Structure 1
Amino acid sequence: MQRTAPSQGARGRSTPAPSPALALPAWSPILTCKLLSIALCATACACATSALAQDDRFYVGGFAGGHFGEEQSFSGANLAGAPRQIDAPQDDGAVAGLVLGMVATEGGWGRLRVEAEFAHRQSDVERLSLNGVQRELLQGESSVSTQLVNLLYDTPQWRKLRGTLGAGIGAASYDYDIRYNVAAAGPTINIPTSVSGKLAYQAIIGVQYALTPTWELSADYRYLWGDDHQIERFNQTAGTLDSVLDATYESSAFTVGARYRF
């Protein structure tokens, strides 16, 4: 008996509905940082062919120092629309960090490194002015934590010395604890804001010394700045929100450190 092949256009079969398009995730600074980190790591892996034969292309290290010239300002308007400009320069503070990286490629022209950096900066507010008039500062502390991906170029070695030039991008978290009196009779204003996930950028220039084939010492100048972010300003006396202001941050630091290659 001969079998008849089933018809391709048989009735009663419903054509499956096309699957809905997948929703794309909202673009954010954190997503930007992740994509950039992946791109830098991919570049490093592509360049690492000449370094694969080396046993000491990876390294860990740390650094510490002081930061100065920190500029902090908040600007905007209160809920009634009155302008608010707050300038709060910082005292010199401390900075410390850890790095984990690799030498992507090395030759007679120098070498290229890529690293992940985790750093923390802490300082006190030196003074505070509101709309150009200095106010009584009751408490003032600020700190910044950063997670950055750095790409660095080292010059060829000369008598165990190398120069370094680099740049980084990543995320920053800001913490503020500032209180001041608008006038002698008050009210007292409080800025107790924590902000995270904001883009931050870094420029690095420095020098390093090869202490041994695996240990290196470094001295660097680091300039850090971040994207604008918002802080909340409360009238502590009345217990109400006074304003939401835009904040800017930038800092310069001198650091010394050490790296161990393995």
Structure 2
Amino acid sequence: MAAKEENQLNYIEETVLKKRKHSEEWAIRRRQQLLDRQFKIQENKKLAFKRAEDFIKDFRIKEMDIVKMKHRVKRRKTSDTAPSSNLLFVIRIQGKKAIHPKLEKILKSLGLKRIFNGVFLKATEGTLSLLEKVEPFVTYGYPNLKNVRDLIFKKGRGRLGKETVPLTDNNIIEKALGKHGILCLEDLVHEIANVGPHFKEVARFLWPFVLARPEDALGGKKNPYKIGGDSGNREEHINELIDKMN
């Protein structure tokens, strides 16, 4: 009789067991949700702090670039040297991240909106002054005739209205520049290489050259080339870099 009563006391209905199990599972899920929420809050705080820290860092980098630019301009006024060629080939090598809007505007005015874009420019006083301002972000020098021809023949694209087209047909060149007596690829090469009377029109017609990233020629150094860095005037040595990027 006592054993029977004990069995009755130990018996729990199945519905009660299911309810208890469901409650336990819900409690576990709830506890995990709270933990996940706390973790997410902590991560968001870290991210917000990191973003603020990055913003401050970028701001300081940009402001320092402007300070250095002003120093470069002052030094240039006291140490001007005439370029040994009227033709420059300029390549943008820096500036993916933090860059002051003033410097970005100069780069865009030169046609260098993207990293590893290259353009032909006439070595005027105004151009050299602008290059001095953005020196850490560009490298440049005096291209030889071979590289002028190779760049135009291999990578040349021209502006035709609002489109850019590959220079595969002399009719495109004649349509855009025929009024200046420039009718074919060789005329383009001649006008650029010799900085001819219609250099400005031809340079404006040519789309910035999209160059390949060199495997071992650029180490990301903003120091001038003449002291072991990547930027600034390479003079005739620009041709070695063009060979690696063309």
TM over 0.5: no
The structure with more helix, counted as a fraction of residues: 2
The structure with more strand, counted as a fraction of residues: 1
TM-score normalised by structure 1 residue count = 0.20
TM-score normalised by structure 2 residue count = 0.21
